[in-house]
A and B are shown apart, each in its own frame.
Chain A
Amino acid sequence: MSLEKNTQAVGWTRDQMAERAALDIPDGSYVNLGIGIPEKVARYVPQGREFIYHTENGLLGMGPTPEVGEEDADLINAGKKPVTAIAGAAYFHHADSFAMIRGQHIDVCVLGAMQVAQNGDLANWSTGAPDAIPAVGGAMDLVAGVKTIFVITQHTTKNGIAKLIEACSYPLTGQGVVSRIYTDLCVIEVTSKGFELVELAPNVAFDTVQERTDAKLLDPNNIAEQS
């Protein structure tokens, strides 16, 4: 196990990013998880805490993926994948579901991102390319209505292009909405001053993160020196 870890690239795996984000979700939170890496957060609920998962297609108290053969086409999540309902779950229609979101009843939403700007602007629904089919789903409602927005994303694109930047070039999902960012390299808090380093992944240097971020990375708590 430890050998395997040592041969891996620097920084956190997708599962470790999800595990790190889960640590910051308070006990008793109502949580909405976006599609992709955010879905993994449900596997890493810290011991002694209980989260209630909301899926915007009408279920509060979403449980894990069913066993093979136990899937129900009428019981799915926002990604249209089969899920289960926990004991104590509730079903409701779409307007009630989005009242939970838009009425600020959901505590935390964890989303993926194409770009996050240093002022908390998020772009995660469209590259604005002329031949793309625009599709927004519930992303704009979530960022406008949920109290705390966490983003989990690789620090850069597959081609090494920065995703954490001074200003988004893609069409926005929402303005100034992101609170925290969990990447493979670090945890960043979005503040009124910009990106502030909260934690570095093991064996990741501050300079590496700054190099891969197209905005000033602040370190008021001297995290770089402590790690």
Chain B
Amino acid sequence: MINKFSTTAADAVADIFDGATVMIGGFGEAGSPIELIHALIDHGAKNLTVVNNNTGSGHVGLAALIENGQVGKMICSFPRTANSTVFPDLYRAGKIELELVPQGTLAERIRAGGAGIPAFFTATSVGTPLADGKEHRNFDERDYVMELSLTADFALIKAKEADRYGNLTYNKTARNFAPIMAMAAKTTIVQTSHCVEAGDIDPETVATPGIFVDRIIHVENPLQESRLNAQGRTYP
């Protein structure tokens, strides 16, 4: 019988290895799988390459993972946050690598990775420093730059509902990168606030089909990054 429900967050992240590439869902705190990130901090895997739109805020969640020295490289579009000094300080000290990618190119690289497409051409970034050194081609009298797809060893994402097959729904703009990261990772680990029976999610409304999901943990009331930051909390 197929059953993708895992018992604990610790079990779910136990095989994340040193040097792994980990895609982490979320746009700011919306969709950030904070309990899975904290489990990864407890687990301690190092020298990770992390793909996320941002670099976290305060001293919890993704910012805490970076602060804990577990991330060697960030691939993101917007590494600055008003209330976080963790990434900027490490970056200025030369202690963390940054691959800056336009947000749409980042999304498309992940989508392409999940769809088995090794590279594609886009007009985004042509004529800017972010296209330097990349292959260019002209189609219909417009210049395009070649971008390589992105895949990962693991994805950590947050869903609203999940069934045992791994079918997922999301909540509003917390969906963001989660569906494409689930496609692009070899192993996709989900935290959800609602574990439901197979069939409870209308097949017409499944946002991520279960084939893209490997493990699910239940976190009924996930922590909220902005609330923790308002309280000055840190992790661990």
A residues near B (Cβ < 8 Å) are 55-59, 72-76, 80, 85, 91-95, 97-98, 101-102, 121, 131, 133-141, 144-145, 171-175
Contact = CB atoms under 8 A, between A and B. Distances in A.
Contact of A172 (B30, B77, B127): B127
B226 interface: yes
18 contacts: A57-B27, A58-B176, A59-B172, A72-B172, A74-B31, A76-B28, A91-B175, A92-B175, A93-B176, A94-B110, A102-B122, A133-B92, A136-B101, A144-B122, A144-B125, A145-B104, A172-B129, A175-B127
B80 A133 contact: yes
B181 to A, nearest CB: 9
Interface residues of B, number: 49
A53 to B, nearest CB: 13
A186 to B, nearest CB: 27
A138 B28 contact: no
A76 B30 contact: yes
Interface string B176-219: 11111000000000000000000000000001000000000000
Interface in B10-34: 27-31
Contacts of A131: 92
A139 B104 CA distance: 9
Contacts, number: 138
B123 A145 contact: yes
Interface majority SS on A: helix, strand, loop or mixed?
Answer: loop
Contacts of B108: 95, 98, 102
Contacts of A135: 77-80, 100
Contact of A95 (B28, B91, B110): B110
B173 interface: yes
A74 B27 CA distance: 10
B146 interface: no
B37 to A, nearest CB: 16
B88 interface: yes
B45 interface: no
Contact of A174 (B31, B111, B127): B127
B70 interface: no
A57 B80 contact: no
A56 B179 CA distance: 15
Contact of A91 (B92, B100, B170, B226): B170
Given A76-B30, A134-B98, A141-B102, A59 B173 contact: yes
Q: Count chain A CB atoms within 10 A of each CB in B77, B104, B107, B126 and give the residue with the most.
A: B104
